[in-house]
Structure 1
């Protein structure tokens, strides 16, 4: 079997809020409980295992490759929620979308402060 990413743990202050947010904003199926996690499954069968942590949440970056229609849908849900989004990972260009690698991309935060990215072309994909 080739090496594949199966899951990653997403630490959260409130695992239900974060898992629900991820599923709703990304347009994914509802999270499923698999103790001690709430699992959000992506289309390529990779799982985000959301885990409640006490104390400060170590924030991370999670990037999601989406199609053009999915990009518009996700960004629409981000806007509907009144969330700020940025064209860059440093959050210097609010309300803008980037055009890196010939695609579109945007960044926004989840309730635990993770930097989420949606993009229509993979990083370094200059085809």
Structure 2
């Protein structure tokens, strides 16, 4: 539910809020019909605030640092570990990595060049 709400707010921001526009009143007047006015005002005020802008910059920077993307979707690593546990023995970290970095189409691991490099690098460290 939280992810859906977050994605919805991100879509609203992309569709209705232009930070370089400079005129917040235009954004406030461009309210989508499905959003209550008080909530729209709060959201636009937050996006325009220094705290909201700082958080946006920080999140963009953090996302840009991600070099290896997992393909487990919304499933947590704990769920993957529980599913792969056999007779009470959890899988190795390497096995979990391979399970969560498969190519979605072929179901072969690893999916991208960075993942392949990580696998090869770590195979010789075990």
Give the structure-1-normalised TM-score.
0.20
Return the TM-score normalized by structure 2.
0.20
Larger radius of gyration: 2
The structure with higher relative contact order (CA 8 Å, sep 6+) is 1
The structure with the largest strand share of the pair is 1
